[in-house]
Amino acid sequence: MVDIAPEQARTALDAADRARHQVAEEVGLPRGYWWAMATGWLLLGVLGTVLPPWLAGIATVAFGVGHGVLAARLLDGRRRTDRLQVSAAVAGRRIPLVVVGMLFGLVAVTVLVALALDADGAGHAGIWAAVLTAAVVGFGGPEILRVLRRWVRA
């Protein structure tokens, strides 16, 4: 039998758990992803204002498809930095759902803000709503995702 006191074993388990948590903190998407998303958001806001609705609709679908293709590898949250790749077991399977849910939520926010601005008589309400959401995504995307992950324990 190994001559290790239970307190020592507990301390070792705590150290191993701390190390795992430190790696789990690295789960997320690269900063560049959020800024690309913010740029796309802004672009869609402008296109939605200047293009006819059917063309703006096509642009929105194209953006969604492009996002699905280009960001598919990133959405699992295991490649936030190029310094490590978090294991699938630690990252879990719910990160893509959390990110997509967050994006749907931000779409709803954009629409609500645009409607509110329009009702208030603001010109180019769609663009201003997109500017606001793009700023939120660009500056606060990683933090919002972190909070959402905590809420849903993903």
Partner 1 sequence: MTEARFDELIHPSTRLSLVATLAAADWAEFAFLKDRLQLSDSALSKQLTTLEEAGYVATERRLIGGRRKVRARLTSTGRDAFNAHIEALRAIVADAVAPSREPPA
Give the residues lining the site for partner 1 (CB under 8 A): 2, 4, 6, 9-10, 12-13, 15-20, 22-24, 78, 81-90
**61 vs 84, beta carbon nearer partner 1:** 84
Provide, rounded to whole angstroms, the least separation between the CB of residue 121 and partner 1.
52
* Closest distance of CB 14 from partner 1, Å: 10
CA distances (Å), origin 25, targets 33, 48, 77, 80, 149: 18, 37, 11, 10, 11
Which residues make Cβ contacts (< 8 Å) with residue 144, sequence separation at least 6? 102, 136
CB-based contacts of 127: which residues, under 8 Å, 6+ apart?
A: 45, 46, 49
Least Å distance between CB 84 and partner 1?
Answer: 4
In the complex with partner 1, which residue's Cβ is closer, 2 or 69?
A: 2
Shorter beta-carbon distance to partner 1: residue 60 or 85: 85
How far the first Cα of the chain sits from its last, in Å, is: 38
Which of 39/81 has CB closer to partner 1? 81
